[in-house]
Chains A and B, each alone.
Chain A
Amino acid sequence: MGKRQKLMKEYGIVLIFIVLVIVMTILSPNFAQPKNLINILKQTSINGILSLGMMFVIISGGFDLSVGSIVGVTGVVAAYLGMGEHPLIVGLLACIGLGALFGLTNGIGVSVGNLPPFIMTLGMMTGLRGLALVISGGQPVTGISKEYVNISSGFLFGVIPYLAVYFLIITVICAFILTKTVYGRRVYSCGGNLLAARVSGINVKAMQTSVYMIAGIMAGIAGFLLTARTTVGAPTAGDGYEMDAITACVIGGVSMNGGTGKWFGVVIGALIISVIANGLDILGVSSHYQKIIKGIIIIVAVLADVNGKTKKA
């Protein structure tokens, strides 16, 4: 009985995902068309990458509201660098570098400055959005090269969208770091019990700083990709993306208290968000209703998580 419950809790999310896909297919046969499934992969990629970064932060016991704004700033920078005058790698490195820098700022604020993560990242979220507007002069940056656009529209072997490939690569890297390295274990320890982690010799300040840098780097990559996908570097891009990243983590079973959560839960969480949006769009349901549904799912997911915890105790 206990073992079954444990399995349900760990892999229940996969079951929910499968049920959701079946329901959507029944409601609209066009949902299961290969072209549509590929679209879902494309649409999940950017939020997926953001969510994986957020995952590190939340598991370590923190919280990051600024990733959406980082996407905006890096997206604008990437657009300026992506007009064909520089090799594309320059834009990518700039985004990763900026993301790491902003993440570092977050991390230092939390670990050294002892600011509550919510407050620190809230300040960064607001400030960076302003920075994006200043750099771009308030307007979307247009004129990126076809080569850059192709990064997000192209297909590997003609079938698998590049965006999904990047998402897969990043998922593999993140999963490996989280589950197979000492660093990963330490992330969980910090989230589980910060004091115990410090006492057992873990450099907690370094840990905290590093997870925010990871989230920042992921956001930088997401910003780079989003500009390619939308063909413009909009200063308002990424607005609200931090919410979807957090939602994916929550649905995926990452506890807001830190210390628990599996990478595949986060991936499935991101997929669920896209599947719902995609399915409802195909059915012609207004995005306003979709927001209500998303909200309900978040609350239900957290309820399940909280209940799971009290049952364990």
Chain B
Amino acid sequence: MVVCIIALIIFSIAGIWSAKYRQLAKESFGCVFRMMTFRPCISNIDEKIKAKITAKLMKFPTMARFFYKNFKLLSWMFVITFFVSLAYSAYAIYNLVVYGNCEPGTGICIINEGANYFSQFTQLFTCYQAQVIYEIIIVVVVVLLAFKYLKFRTRKQEN
């Protein structure tokens, strides 16, 4: 049921562009509303999400089983992570608004006024945060490559 919270946010945003998601957003809202009043979800959108994702994972039976068995726990983890990252993002935006993009004390700035966009972008990599950015990029690339490889292997096996 907790996954309905994320579903509501995602489908509401997607529903701005596509009518298909508006009905799903409506169902998610109904589910969230009932959850807040300690009642079970009528529309079963949480079950549908669980079953659809499990079906997609069936090519990797162990992963599918893990996901299906631990859906509730994974939903809670996902929702908590979502709201924590949302809070941190809000905090970062607050800091940007209040302090600007320069660090008080040292005067080091993320973005220099007057500099061109390319040098501003490269400046990002001169800060200590650059390491984090590098790591994020590497993780994303590795995950994408792994996914592509698994997909290619599965297609090869089917043929």
The reply to whether chain A is a binding partner of chain B is no
Instruction: Report B's interface with A, CB cutoff 8 A.
Output: none
